[in-house]
Chains A and B, each alone.
Chain A
Amino acid sequence: MTKSFNPQSYEPGTHPDLPPPAITTGLIGWIKTNLFSSPLNTALTLISLWFLWQILPSSIHWLFTGAVWSAVDRKECWAMMDAPRDGACWAFIRGSLELFLYGWYPEPERWRVNLTFILFGAAVFGALRENIPGKKYWLMFAAVFPFLAAWLLFGGFGLEPVPTGKLGGILLTLVVAVTGISFSLPLGIALALGRRSRLPVLRAICVIFIEFIRGVPLITLLFVASTMLTYFLPPGSSFDLLMRVLIMVTLFAAAYIAEVVRGGLQGLSSGQYEAADALGLTYWQSHRLIILPQALKISIPGIVNTFIGSYKDSVLVLIIGMMDILGLGRARLNDPDWLGLAPELYIFISLFFFVSCFAMARYSLSLEKKLETGHQS
């Protein structure tokens, strides 16, 4: 029966390696197999094309060709269009960009924010980039960055102090997200190890903590941070609201990271622990050198998923009155000059979140690929 496919026959032991059949390769082959392989598939392809034809021209017109990029207020925007609202009024976003970026950060001190952004870029680049000379120093820099950033942003020690209430917009969003992400990973790993510890008390503490945090919505924790925490603290002590929120966001993300990492730890065969033990490695050595590198590698998709989730959840701080990018943007919508420009605002904010989340997702994929060392695990 194979005769009909492969008319040529070879002596046993002399069959050469042949290229795959041509139909599955090339652009035409791809289109045939993916878009028109069956009547149903063909129908779906045609319907999708028709749908795109219907919405693409008007979308492109509204978003780009018919849009106004600079104007002082919405009236001027409308005046520049064929008909009011015929296109997007991006002038609104452009005019608000500085507010969205810095919040109410005092103008003469904004260089500190800019410097923080630049150092943040350098820390991310240095920490993630492979084959960079002096990798060790880049990592050390990334580790001290959060503290350096805190000093730059809030001042003290020679810099003009800036009250935390002045933070807003993208700056606040990034402060909340980066703090949550960078402190939740080590804390989450510690919790995951604690949950698997042989010491019953330590294990119980970790389990209770993780399950409590996971069992309570983040918004509730934020309300706790904004209202109740003052009752628990000694009278007269004041504890900055932003600080309380950062702690809550970090604890929340850490509980999820802990469970993701625990999954990774359970994914390792017991043989890895035994081999490390048999070689005489101590608990910390075997975890640092053998167990965690592998467990974290398995956990990368889950960890990044948690990061992306907590990054997006950072907008919930607007519920307790903090003006992150979403809160500030919504407040800006009430500006008489720019009334009714909600679509522009939400498109901008969506794009902002999408670009950063997509970058994280792509990075995690490339990291997984890079850490691949063979077929077996």
Chain B
Amino acid sequence: MNQDSKNASKTEDSIISIHGMHKWFGDFHVLKNINLEVGRGERIVICGPSGSGKSTLIRCINRLEEHQQGDIVVEGTELTEDLKNIDIIRSEVGMVFQQFNLFPHLTVLENVTLAPIWVRKLPRAEAEEQAMSYLERVKIPEQASKYPGQLSGGQQQRVAIARSLCMNPRIMLFDEPTSALDPEMIKEVLDVMIELAESGMTMLVVTHEMGFATAVAHRVIFMDGGEIIEEQPPKAFFEDPQHDRTKLFLSQILHH
């Protein structure tokens, strides 16, 4: 990836902007004063210790979780109680989960065409044609008629990526996409994600794959205790972390 495209992305027109956002689970203050601007085509890696609120943060962006204070604007649409806004934002934002969350009772092809047919109202033939092209892009067109339970973890995660892409999202959220995978399958999923990054997709990725962060991220965000502690370009983040907590975290994940 050349340095040019890395710099080009952060512009004043943000695709996601989060201001003074707080969230509580009951009494538990899980996200504290989050401020984050994401530029069009920007790729952000979020890391931090378990329980620091990484998943909750990205789940607030497509309203799988509701925030209580501050505001989140995605593609010019503010996330409020308004169900119409939520629908608009969800159709712009794709999400890939740690546990894949494929629909086990549907074949791979049905998984991938379901939302285009029911949400985008595409004719079935067109949806299937588009689905096959995305399945080719994640390199498993030959599995189209199988059920998710018959696939390996890496294949399932690639189907999940194709399923999100079929909605033609502007933004992709990844919540630890490789954490549930056997080691030998991590690379096949990361390769697909790197290719997606090269196509210019805006991506927010919660991951501890530091190789991936170095290769594709414009910025790495470190979270702890519900706060954004530090954000840096990957090189600076790994070589010259500013905060003690970041240093501690990096020493823990890099030394085994």
Contacts and interface: CB of A to CB of B under 8 A. Distances in A.
A377 B149 CA distance: 7
B157 interface: no
Contacts of A47: none
Given A279-B115, A280-B167, A271 B150 contact: no
Contacts of A293: 105
A49 interface: no
A246 B186 CA distance: 58
B75 to A, nearest CB: 14
Interface string A211-244: 0000000000000000000000000000000000
Contacts of B103: 272, 275, 290, 294
A280 B147 CA distance: 22
A39 B214 CA distance: 69
A91 B46 CA distance: 82
Contact of A376 (B118, B148, B164): B148
A371 B104 CA distance: 10
A376 B62 CA distance: 27
B97 A373 contact: no
Interface in B222-255: none
B165 to A, nearest CB: 11
B219 interface: no
B56 interface: no
B118 A285 contact: yes
A159 interface: no
A278 interface: yes
B64 A279 contact: no
Contacts of B150: 373-374
A274 B149 CA distance: 19
Interface in B80-128: 87, 90-91, 93-95, 97, 99, 101-105, 114-115, 118-119
Given A293-B105, A376-B149, A377-B104, 13 more contacts: A271-B97, A274-B64, A274-B101, A277-B90, A278-B93, A279-B114, A279-B163, A280-B90, A281-B114, A281-B115, A294-B105, A374-B150, A376-B104
Interface of A: 269, 271-272, 274-275, 277-282, 285, 289-290, 293-294, 297, 371, 373-377
17 contacts: A269-B101, A272-B101, A274-B64, A274-B95, A275-B103, A277-B64, A278-B93, A278-B95, A279-B90, A279-B163, A282-B87, A285-B119, A293-B105, A294-B104, A374-B149, A376-B148, A377-B104
- Closest 4 pairs between A and B when the two form their complex, measured CB to CB: A374-B149, A271-B101, A275-B101, A279-B115
